[in-house]
Structures are given as structure tokens and as C-alpha cells.
Structure 1
Amino acid sequence: MIGLTVAIVIFNFIALKIRKRLSLSQMAHIWAFTIAFQTVFDVYVDFKLHGYWYFSKGVDWNSFFALIFLVPPVNVIFLNYFPYNQELWKKILYIIGWEMGLLLYEAITLFPEPWGYFHYGWWTLWHSLFVNPILLMILVGYFKWICKLDKRSTVKTEMKY
């Protein structure tokens, strides 16, 4: 539990203190999308396939805190610095850098308690190596879609109540 608490404090502090390129609306979208998407992914891989779990098998409140307060700020940090208008090779290098960081962090979460809180069933770091970039690209795709919707939905006249 100590490892999760420390990670939540550090990642939320960084997400709140970095120079932001994202609007509050965009961050709220990312936060909500991350919670929904991770819930669906975890329900399938954790509960149905028993590939991995947090703290203990089954539903527990500690994994709820990981879901709500750990991954969303990491995604906000990732998207805040993503090289959107750069060459493809810079985007690939950015994702590779994040992948290395994510794999290192996942390895740390496998430590015994109180520092670790993540446990493998059949899942391995190799699975994460191949799945993480796909999940990151889904996140980028969702964010680009939200940005397009924001541009299209600009109200040109003031609404009266």
C-alpha cells in the first residue's frame, strides 16, 4: 500500500504542477476516459481471464484507488508532452521512452508488499511490452477526437437562459 500511495502522490503532484498544454476540459475528458477504459480492460484481463490483479484477486477498494487516482494523471502527463506536430520518428521515440518507463514502473509494482501491489497470473512484462503502445495510441486517438469535437462545437452565439 505504501508504493501505491507514494505513486499516487507523485503522479498527481506532477500532473498538477507541470506547464499545461491541455485545458481543464481536456484533462477531465482524459480522466473520465481513462477510468472507463481501464475498468473495461481490467474487468476483462483481471476478473475474467485472471491475467493480473491488484493487491488480491477479486474486487477490493485498494484497486479502486489505483484505478481512480494513479493512471489518469499519468495519461495527462503523457498527453501533455506528446509531440503531436512532430515527425513520426519523434512520436515513436516518445512512445518508446514512455514504454521503458512504464515497464520499469510495472516491475517495481511487482515488489513484495508494502511497496508492491501488482500481481501476475499468466500476464508478464512481455504482454505489457506489446499491449502498452497500443493502449497509448488508443489514448492519443481519443484525445485527438476530443480536440476535433471541441473545435467543431464552438458556439458562435451566446446562449440565453
Structure 2
Amino acid sequence: MAFLLISAVVFIIVAILVPKRLTRSEQYAVALFSIVLGLVTDIVLDLKYHVYGYFLPGVQFVGFIPSLTLFPTAGIVYMNFFPYDRGLSYKLLYTFYWSIFCLFFEFLSVQSGYFYHNGWKYWHSALTYPILLWVLVQHLKIYRWYTN
């Protein structure tokens, strides 16, 4: 629990302090979409298929802490520094490094005990994180198209 709370505070501070390249409305859209994407993913993989979860099987209010703190803040930082004006190889490398960070953070979360695997493997996450990050980028593209 301590790792989760410390991580939540650190993620929030980082998201607040980094220089912003996103507008406030874009930050809001990314944060909300990150929460929804995280909750939908968790509902399917945790509650439907029971392959991972937070703390104990089932729903606990404390299990919402990652969805409401880690997901939106990480989404904002990821999208804030995404290399929009760079080539595809740079974008793929950026996403690769973020996926490695996510895997490492997941490992620490499992070790700390607030997150558990029940048939889920790290290679599943290695395949999933780039897809989820790509979905975030596509969402912001759609948001920018819609608002301009």
C-alpha cells in the first residue's frame, strides 16, 4: 500500500510540474480517457477474466487509487512529451521506452503486493502496453480534430 500511495503522490507531482505542451482541455481529455481506458481494461481483465487484480479478487474502493491517480497522470506525461513532429521510428522508440517503464512499474507493483497476477504474464503486458499507449495517441488526434 505504501508503494501505491507514494507512487500516486510522485506521479501527481510530476504531472503538475512538467512543462506543458498540451492545452488544459487536452490534459483534461487525456486524463479522463486514461481513467476510462484503465477502468474498462481492468473490468474486462480483472472482473471478467480474473487474470490480474488489485489487492484481493473483486472490487475494493482502494483499488480505484491506480485508476484515478496513476493512469491519468502517466497519460498526461506520456502525451505531453510524445514526439508528434518526429518520424515513426522516434515515436516507436518513445513508446518502447514507456512500455519498458510500465513493465518495470508493474513488476514493482506486484512485488509491493497491491497488484497481483492470476495467470497474467509480463509478456502479456509487454504486448498490451504499446497498444494502450497507441490508443491514447489516437484519442488525442481525434480530440484535436474534433475541437479544431
Scaled by the length of structure 2, the TM-score of the pair is 0.97
Moved over 3 A (4+): none
Identify the structure with the greater helix proportion.
Answer: 2
Secondary structure of the residue that 2:53 maps to in structure 1?
A: strand
Unaligned runs of 5+ in 2: none
Asked if structure 2 preserves the Cα contact closer than 8 Å seen for 1:4 and 1:116, the reply is: no
State the shift of 1:62 in Å.
Answer: 1.0
Opposite residue 29 of structure 1, the aligned amino acid is A
**Distance (Å, rounded) in 1 between the aligned partners of 2:75 and 2:100:** 15
1:128 aligns with 2:133: no
State how 1:30-49 maps to structure 2 within 5 Å. 30-49=30-49
Specify the alignment match of 2:92 in structure 1: 92
State the shift of 1:116 in Å.
Answer: 3.2
Q: Which has the larger radius of gyration?
A: 1
Give the root-mean-square deviation of aligned CA atoms: 0.8
Opposite residue 89 of structure 1, the aligned amino acid is S
State the shift of 1:107 in Å.
Answer: 0.5
Secondary structure of the residue that 1:56 maps to in structure 2?
A: coil
Unaligned runs of 5+ in 1: 152-161
- The one-character-per-residue Cα deviations of 1:6-64 (angstroms, maximum 9, x if unpaired) are 11001110000000001111111111111112111111100010010001110001111
- The one-character-per-residue Cα deviations of 1:57-105 (angstroms, maximum 9, x if unpaired) are 1000111111111111001000000001101110011011111111111
Aligned length: 148
